[in-house]
Amino acid sequence: MKEIKGAILIISGPSGCGKSTLLKEIYKNIPNYYFSISTTTRDIRGEEEDGIDYHFVTIEEFEKNIEAGNFLEYARVHNNYYGTMLEPITKALNDGKLVVFDIDVQGHKILREKLGNLITSVFITTPTLKILEQRLVARDTDTKEIIEKRVESAKSEICEFLDYDYLIINDNIHKATKEILSIASIARAKTKLFDKNSIVKEWLNS
């Protein structure tokens, strides 16, 4: 643990709650972060780009990476594989970055077990399930069947919110943005706590 200088911010919540929308605010306002680009077997959606939003791979490629032990964590979500490659995360943490994850509740559980105190986590949701469904329909990026599957998954995902450090009810985008930025600043401050040796050295020498 001693050599890790970075910290981790995990954002989870049901599909359509507003994770990507709020993450954009973090990227505009928080310095020295690294966004974890996940690997997935799902199809490209809307304006997404390979290597920017996700690394889009086949099921065979994904399973090869599982066998090779290349994932820090992975899970099956809405019938597709999603996973985080270990190598870029290790590098970003060693570089003292705030590493930001958009992962599901299973991924959060795994990272909690592996990385404990390095993590600050936030669960985002809408005021009601109905509003979640309305947002997915209004986003207009998924078929009716995919939306139904995601709404169904939301019913079990919501049960996990107590395992997170913070909860944001994204009813108003301005309020939710303020809240996520405050939480990101707190998570950022942890990078300094984990760089304890250099902080103590600086303090003693000043």
Ligand X SMILES: Nc1nc2c(ncn2[C@@H]2O[C@H](COP(=O)(O)O)[C@@H](O)[C@H]2O)c(=O)[nH]1
- Of 135, 164, 168, 184, the residue at the interface with ligand ATP (CB under 6 A) is 135
17 binds ligand X (CB under 6 A): no
Give residue for tokens 């930001």.
100
User: 99: part of which helix (H) or strand (E)?
Assistant: strand 98-102
6 makes contact, choosing from ligand ATP, ligand X, none, with CB < 5 to 8 Å by partner type, with none
CA distance 34 to 104: 18
Give the one residue of 33, 104, 190, 191 binding ligand X; rule: CB under 6 A: 104
Phi-psi region of 21 (alpha: psi -120 to 50; beta: other; left: phi over 0): alpha
Span of 24-32, 103-111, 187-195, 197-205 interacting with ligand X by CB under 6 A? 103-111
Binding residues for ligand ATP, rule CB under 6 A, total: 15
Shortest CB 51 distance to ligand ATP, Å:
17
Residues in 117-176 that interact with ligand X by CB under 6 A: none
Task: Read off the amino acid at residue 187.
Answer: A
20 is in an annotated binding site: yes
155 versus 201: smaller Cβ distance to ligand ATP: 155
19 is in an annotated binding site: yes
108 binds ligand ATP (CB under 6 A): no
Stretch of 11-19, 35-43, 68-76, 110-118 contacting ligand ATP, by CB under 6 A: 11-19
Instruction: Answer yes or no: are the C-beta atoms of 132 and 39 closer than 8 Å.
Output: no
Contact between 36 and 23 (Cβ < 8 Å): no
One DSSP character per residue, 155-205 reads HHHGGGGGGSSEEEE-SSHHHHHHHHHHHHHHHHHHHHHHTHHHHHHHHHH
Question: Contact, 195 vs 4, CB < 8 A?
Answer: no
Q: Is 14 part of any known ligand binding site?
A: yes
**Residue 157, C-beta contacts closer than 8 angstroms, at least 6 positions apart:** 12, 13, 14, 104, 105
CB of 151 to ligand ATP, least distance (A): 11
Q: Please indicate if the annotation marks 12 as binding a ligand.
A: no
Q: Distance between CA atoms of 13 and 46, rounded to whole angstroms?
A: 20
Annotated binding residues for ATP: 13-20
Query: Residue numbers of the site for ligand ATP (CB under 6 A)?
Result: 13, 15-21, 135, 138-139, 170, 172-173, 176
Binding residues for ligand X, rule: CB under 6 A, are: 12, 15, 38, 42, 73, 75, 77-78, 82-84, 102-104, 106-107
